[in-house]
Amino acid sequence: MNRFVWLAVLPMLAAPAAFAQASRTFERNLPLDLYLDHSTFAYDSQNQLVDIYIGVDGTRLPFQAAQEGGFEALVPLILTLHALDAAGVAAEMPVWRDAAQQRFTLPDTSETARQRMFVQVARAAVPAGRYELRATVPAPDGGSPTLSLRQPVEVEVAAEPGISDVTLASSIRRSDDRADPFFRNGLSVQPHPSLVFGNVLPMVQYYTEIYGTTALADTAYTLRTRVVPEGGTEAVDNLTREQRRPVRPTDVVIGSANVRRLPSGAYTLNLDVLDGNGQVRATAARRFHVYNPGVASSNTPVVVAYEASPFASMPEADVLRYYETLGVIGSEQDRIRMREITDLAAKRRYLYDFWAVRDANPATPENESLQEFERRLALAETRYGRGPMVGYRTDRGRVLIKYGDPQEIQRSPMSRNNELRTFEVWGYEGLPGIGQAQFVFIDRRDTGNLEQVYSNIPGERSVTNWRCELSRLGQCDAINDLGLGF
């Protein structure tokens, strides 16, 4: 039986403050905000080790006074690994499963104490293969899960030389405490499952293991680390490092990168093992996000020509991804024009022009509008991406990307004997050209995917008699008792 331990390890990263002030209508029944991540490491001749990391936003936990003093929140959690077949379909029966009633404790519920991320780690030993990782919070009454996360897991046999997965952490320190759930090779490595760093957590700390460098015909090898902006080809100069390290069967590597001054956006941490001839023999990469709304910008006018922009040399896969996501915020004319463009070079140029005209401050080297778009994409993926469903293709992800963070979120109660379907109501204040706006999302098919059924914004989707779908019994006035004002 794996042991799960939750620790309050750092302040929650600062999405806009208004978003944190979610509606208190159902405060005691708010679903959790979970973040799921994993890393794989060499284990033995038959199995590899999968470290599973789950982060929980402490502001969403239903804390109550504990008998022994302080406050506690009890949450059930089920973790499973399911093998995937050649077509990518997950087996019904898991190859690994663990479940426990999680207990979160705090000495008090002051704002400082509550705004924490609690982190869990569990470990599973499984053979090499392709899996789907699932984290599920079951409903108290045995109905549809309150929350479910899914994530693909690739488990491979370590090569020689080879690099394990890279774990991004909020803290790494020396430790001899083998009872510490974060203990690994003489270190306490506290993972950061949200993978968002920046203004609150400026240091990206990382842990990895390098295997079999003794197979190289040298007494030492070179480890190169680089941080590369997504869509770019050049690494950030002051975050590029090379170090000579002695060869050994397993080399434990830790390091850090200060991203305090990086613009908001997506980045990749790249690690390369180089032999004595400078040839890359093994490589690993870890994608993460930076949110730095207060990064100082130069007041000197800057003109970035297309040829010098990241779009000019952007890989085709990235071009197609950017191209597709623009459909979320683009106008109908934009979408028509995009469908007409088939040439890769022309698509690159279109992306450059699209964002150049939307640059909120051309006098700075950063395109703040593009940075905000990337931030919303990252949040949509973190919150709503599930297995093959990417975040921006979900209804909630699309609305988040197009309109930003809502000022108010009301979520369905968990204590209605399963009479109501899971739902969320989002409220906006002061949207440009719109003013107040509301969205209603309902899990109409009990799949965990909340669909948009109502909005008061002209042109947005609204389902006829959507109130009826809120009730599993078809009672169209079910929402009237909830005080939502519709």
Please give the pLDDT value at position 389: 78
Helix-then-strand count for the chain, H and E: 8, 24
Classify residue 86 by its DSSP letter. T
Of 246 and 15, the one with more pLDDT: 246
Of 60 and 72, the one with more pLDDT: 72
pLDDT tens digits, 357-405: 787 776 666 778 888 888 888 888 888 887 677 888 899 999 999 999 8
pLDDT at 3 over 60: no
- Annotate 170-183 with DSSP letters as a single string: EEEEE---TTSTTE
The span from the CA of 389 to the CA of 392, in Å, is 9
Mean pLDDT, residues 184-201 = 90
- Annotate 106-162 with DSSP letters as a single string: ES---HHHHSEEEEEEEEEEE-SEEEEEEEEE--TTSSS-SEEEEEEEEE-PPPSSE
The distance of Cα 245 from the centroid of its chain, to the nearest Å, equals 32
Of 165 and 387, the one with more pLDDT: 165
How sure is the predictor about 138, in pLDDT bands with cuts at 50, 70 and 90?
A: confident
Domain ranges of the chain: 1-156, 158-293, 306-402, 406-482
Mean pLDDT, residues 278-304 = 74
Please give the pLDDT value at position 7: 41
Mean pLDDT of the chain: 81
Q: Which of 37-41, 238-242, 478-482 shows the lowest per-residue confidence on average (mean pLDDT)? A: 478-482
Mean pLDDT, residues 442-453 = 86
pLDDT tens digits, 81-123: 999 999 889 999 999 999 877 777 777 655 434 446 788 899 9
Residue 43: CB partners within 8 Å, gap ≥ 6? Answer: 49, 125
Classify residue 407 by its DSSP letter. S
CB atoms within 10 A of CB 97: 13
Token pair 């936990």 is found at 61
Q: Which of 88, 188, 144 is nearest to 472 (CA)?
A: 144
Q: Which of 473, 392, 407 is nearest to 439 (CA)?
A: 407
Structure pTM? 0.59
Classify residue 449 by its DSSP letter. -
**Phi and psi for 73 in degrees, rounded to 5?**
-135, 130
Q: What angle do CA 89, 95, 98 make, to 5 degrees?
A: 120
Q: What is the CA radius of gyration of the chain?
A: 24
Please give the pLDDT value at position 367: 79
Of 412 and 417, the one with more pLDDT: 412
pLDDT at 23 over 60: no
Token pair 């779009």 is found at 311
Q: Which of the residue ranges 109-118, 294-303, 339-348 has the most confident prediction, judged by mean pLDDT?
A: 339-348
Of 136 and 387, the one with more pLDDT: 136
Q: Which of 12-16, 34-38, 132-136, 420-424 shows the lowest per-residue confidence on average (mean pLDDT)? A: 12-16
The span from the CA of 477 to the CA of 197, in Å, is 44
| CA distance to 177, 262, 301, 356, per residue, from 285 (Å) | 29, 19, 34, 30
Please give the pLDDT value at position 477: 63
Mean pLDDT, residues 461-481 = 73
Residue type, 331: S
Structure-block tokens of residue 293 = 């709304």
Please give the pLDDT value at position 332: 79
Please give the pLDDT value at position 371: 84
Of 124 and 300, the one with more pLDDT: 124
Of 46 and 10, the one with more pLDDT: 46
Of 239 and 109, the one with more pLDDT: 239
Structure-block tokens of residue 332 = 């109908």
Cβ pair 198, 264 in contact under 8 A: yes
The percentage of the chain sitting over the pLDDT mark of 70, rounded to a whole number, equals 82
The dotted CATH code for 158-293 is 2.60.40.2550
SS3 84: strand
Residue 132: CB partners within 8 Å, gap ≥ 6? Answer: 81, 82, 84, 90, 150, 151, 152, 153, 387
Whether 158-293 and 1-156 are alike in CATH topology: the answer is: yes
CA dihedral 84, 88, 90, 96 (to 10 degrees): 30
Classify residue 414 by its DSSP letter. S
Mean pLDDT, residues 12-21 = 31
Cis ω for the linkage preceding 249 (within 30 of 0): no
Cβ pair 254, 240 in contact under 8 A: no
pLDDT tens digits, 30-64: 356 778 899 999 999 999 999 999 888 776 677 78
How sure is the predictor about 140, in pLDDT bands with cuts at 50, 70 and 90?
A: low
Domain 1-156's class?
Answer: mainly beta
**Phi and psi for 387 in degrees, rounded to 5?**
55, -125
Cβ pair 392, 398 in contact under 8 A: yes
* First-last CA distance in the chain: 48
